[in-house]
Structure 1
Amino acid sequence: MKSITINGSKRESVGKKATKALRNAEQVPCVLYGGEQTVHFSAPELAFSQLVYTASAHTVVIALDNGETYDAVLQDIQFHPVTDRILHIDFYRLFEDKEIAMDIPVHVIGTSRGVLNGGVLRKNRRKLRVKALPKNLPDFIEADITPLKIGGKLYITQLESDGFKFLHPDNTVVCQVKRSRLVVEIDDEDEEEGEEGVEASEGGEATAAPAEGGESQE
């Protein structure tokens, strides 16, 4: 998984007054959990743009001005209800030998036959929560919709999960193709029956109709 480096400064004071001063200076107060000690630090708001405003998943390297570095993942973020500015971010520390739970984006690939026939693709899950060692965390999860006909569903059990496990029930639907008003649905059985009918008519004997006004003679 790709990693983003956040350069920050360790915070000595964590009171409301100090936090307000940081925000006025366009700094974001942050907390790193998961280790023996909780680490409080701050970083410029612009430093989080590639981490927060993206659909991709990333791990983070937190590099503090005192020389300390930590591997982490974003766990929670708070935005201002009016301005949408980042108010606070929580991180969780990564360890090579400890599994971590993380939301991973779903990338849809392939061309669904049901969509080609007029169905509508519905993406039920744009992200899936997985658990794995940090080195096994995927950048994204591929969902191949090629086999889906109209009414078909792609379940989480049909996705590859090498090196990680999904934290969802087995009946979780990732994508499905729903019927729309403009549908040209072709059924496999109807196609086969149509082909057999054509073959039968070609192999059968032709029967001439009697001419107009004529009488059939025995």
Structure 2
Amino acid sequence: MREAFVVEAEVRTTRGKGASRRLRHEGKVPAIIYGGKGEPQPITVNHNELSKHLKIEAFYSHILTVKIGGATEQAVLKDLHRHPVRNEIMHMDLQRVLADQLLRMHVPLHFKGAEVAPGIKTGGGIIEHHMIQVEVECLPKDLPEFLEVDLSALNVNEAVHMSQLKLPANVALVELKHGNDASVAAVHLPRAAVEPEPVAAEAASAEVPATAQKVEAKGDEAKKDDKKK
């Protein structure tokens, strides 16, 4: 069962950096909701309540119910700004969604099967994750919370590409629409296992003691002097 997220909000009547600073001191987050058929509306939400929502991965790729006064709107989280040091939530952007209009959202990838992949279990390889999320396009009712990536069949030097992901009905990957079938994850040998061996000549040189190399060098110089004479 999909979780339902409700965001309680209030209309924000004050603007500017000073007003936003005062709201943050009061434990509120300045935000805005825009898009759909309505005008952009500045709002505020409770910082602590929002923090609880943000600890749940599905909140980032879910249709949210936003209650503003007596009105209710459907929206998705489009942007979030945090303080670079305190991790405090500074601002949030919400975008209204309409049931009959396509929307684009980034959804997380959940990887499974790595522990039984032949390239890892018997081949000594390691998984390289090239993506942790992908952008999808679909109607709001079809928006997935995440997409699964099955790694169980991968051998060494094999990869899973975007075109191989299993998508829910009526969901498309934006990158594929632009012809970009990028790798999502791959199995490779650890770098130390594929480093080339030293060249034979270098190895032979390394076996000669440093003192012997100096003697040989002096002998060569002496031969050159004799020729000059």
TM-score range, shorter chain: 0.7 to 0.9
Show the counterpart of 1:174.
184
| Inter-partner Cα distance in structure 1 for 2:104 and 2:134 | 10
Aligned residue pair count: 182
Contact 1:129–1:166 (CA under 8 A) maintained in structure 2: yes
**Which runs of at least 4 in structure 1 moved beyond 4 Å after TM superposition?**
none
Quickly say closer, same or farther: Cα 1:104–1:135, change in 2 above 3 A: same
What is the CA deviation profile of residues 1-44 of structure 1, one whole-angstrom value per residue up to 9, with x for unaligned ones?
Answer: 54311111111222333212111101001100103211111011
Quickly say closer, same or farther: Cα 1:34–1:28, change in 2 above 3 A: same
The structural deviation recorded for 1:182 is: 6.1
| Inter-partner Cα distance in structure 1 for 2:6 and 2:56 | 15
Show the counterpart of 2:57.
55
What is the CA deviation profile of residues 48-97 of structure 1, one whole-angstrom value per residue up to 9, with x for unaligned ones?
Answer: 12432343332211112x20111111111111122110000001001100
Calculate percent identity across the aligned residue pairs. Answer: 27
In the TM superposition, 1:4-23 aligns within 5 A as 4-23=5-24
Contact 1:131–1:166 (CA under 8 A) maintained in structure 2: yes
When normalised by structure 1's length, the TM-score is 0.78
Letter in 1 for 2:41: V
Contact 1:2–1:139 (CA under 8 A) maintained in structure 2: no
Letter in 2 for 1:164: V
| Inter-partner Cα distance in structure 1 for 2:193 and 2:4 | 45
Show the counterpart of 2:118.
113
Show the counterpart of 1:188.
none
CA RMSD of aligned residues (A): 1.7
| Inter-partner Cα distance in structure 1 for 2:146 and 2:172 | 13
User: Per the alignment, in what secondary structure is the counterpart of residue 175 of structure 2?
Assistant: coil
| Inter-partner Cα distance in structure 2 for 1:41 and 1:119 | 50
Structure 2: runs of 5+ lacking an equivalent: 195-229
Letter in 2 for 1:73: V
